Amino acid sequence: MPRIRAAIVGTGNIARFHAESLHALHDEVEVVAAVDIDSARLAEFCSTHQVEHQFADVGQMLTSQRPDLVHVCTPPGLHRAQVLQCLQADASVVVEKPPTLTLRELDELAAAEGAAGPWLATVFQHQFGSGAQRLRSMVADGVLGRPLLAVCNTTWLRDEDYFAAPWRGRWDTEGGGPTMGHGIHQMDLLGAVLGDWDEVSAVARQQARLMETEDVSLAHVTFANGAVASVINSVVSPREESYLRFDFERATVELTHLYGYGDDDWRVTPAPGFEERVDAAWKAGSHGVGSSHVAQFEAVIHSLRSSSAPPVTTADARRTMQLVAGIYASAFQRRRIRPADLGPDSPFYGRMDGDGARW
């Protein structure tokens, strides 16, 4: 089978992880082109990662190279238009999180996918480490009993310099603050384990950073399976941590890390009487794969090879984006929000700050 021909759009910070991961999968995929409007950065990127063709424009790249797969690594405000161009050129897409600025944009992109491709996958790499895979299969097998309670903390630190980048900290270009840009990773894993959410009640605040968006949000989330979760998203926390805790009937499962985890970052504490069963299930299954772009891209390529929608699908990414929209809607409208409140008639469907952030 010929190798998948891939291109990378946007050659800034995160693009390196895409190039290195795709090179690690070189038996299956080759990076044939890269696109950036910053010609110096593009040239350096192509030289470092041995990419042959350079373009300043996505359209020109698509016409000239006809790639099978495009990795979109530009700032979030550009995702909708660039992903749409690629899907319309019959290329499947891997887009960096957040996939779009709004639910409306995500629905537009989902409508441009085909049943047999092209497809859109969103990068949520924390779903792909062994620990998350094992936890999800233990939940599916019923080993852990009912999920009761969860904690999902993204307490990170970003200074004023970080938000000086012209696209950061603005509703029009980043789509939100740490709820949209940082905690979205942890909230995505929370949803991957607990499923659909039912109701959210939240607060968003500007505590310290000079920017348009929140720098802190706190939420209480109820899931359709009855579990309740406390969620914190922050970029003002000097001791940084990403922390997930799930209390099931038969065990507590915790994950403590910062930007990526390995097997050792998980802790499982069985409830009395369930030690043997829980420990045996946790020891079985896959081990040794950390959360990373390469772990997700391997799964993406496997799906493309078998002509199925690659993970994380637009439907899965939508659940996470809808929780983000729900947190903002609850915080700014000061009321409980259910998914049904976020349809096309809601101001929060077309902008994450709805009809304006109310602090």
Ligand X SMILES: NC(=O)c1ccc[n+]([C@@H]2O[C@H](COP(=O)([O-])OP(=O)(O)OC[C@H]3O[C@@H](n4cnc5c(N)ncnc54)[C@H](O)[C@@H]3O)[C@@H](O)[C@H]2O)c1
Q: How far apart are CA 219 and CA 185, in angstroms?
A: 15
Q: Alpha carbon of 139 to those of 253, 257, 267: distances in Å?
A: 11, 21, 16
76: contact with ligand X by CB under 6 A:
yes
Binding pattern for the stretch 240-279 against ligand X, x by CB under 6 A and - elsewhere: ----------------------------------------
Q: Is 10 in the site for ligand X (CB under 6 A)?
A: yes
Nearest residue to ligand X, by Cβ distance, number only: 12
96 scored as a contact of ligand X (CB under 6 A)? yes
List the one residue from 22, 30, 36, 248 that touches ligand X (CB under 6 A): 36
The reply on whether position 9 binds ligand X by CB under 6 A is: yes
Residue 78 makes contact with ligand X by CB under 6 A: yes
Q: Does 11 bind ligand X (CB under 6 A)?
A: yes
The Cα 78–Cα 81 span in angstroms is 6
Distance CA 233, CA 214 (A): 10
Q: What would the x/- binding string for ligand X be over residues 134 to 173, using CB under 6 A?
A: ----------------------------------------
Q: Where are any strands of DSSP class E within 97-225?
A: 120-122, 147-157, 197-205, 216-223
Is residue 94 within 8 Å of 70, Cβ to Cβ?
Answer: yes
Name the minimum Å distance from CB 174 to ligand X: 8
Identify the residue whose tokens are 């929209």. 325
Contact flag: residue 35 with ligand X (CB under 6 A): yes
Q: Give the residue from 96, 113, 32, 19 showing the smallest Cα distance to 68.
A: 32
Cα–Cα distance measured from residue 83 to residue 92, given in angstroms and rounded to the nearest whole number? 9
Q: Are 204 and 170 in contact (CB under 8 A)?
A: no
Q: Does 14 bind ligand X (CB under 6 A)?
A: yes
Least gap, CB of 127 to ligand X (angstroms): 11
CA distance 83 to 346: 24
Selected from 73, 83, 138, 194, the binder of ligand X by CB under 6 A is 73
The pattern of x and - marking residues 104 through 123 that bind ligand X according to CB under 6 A reads -------------------x
Residues in contact with ligand X by the rule CB under 6 A: 9-15, 35-38, 41, 73-76, 78, 96-97, 123, 125, 181
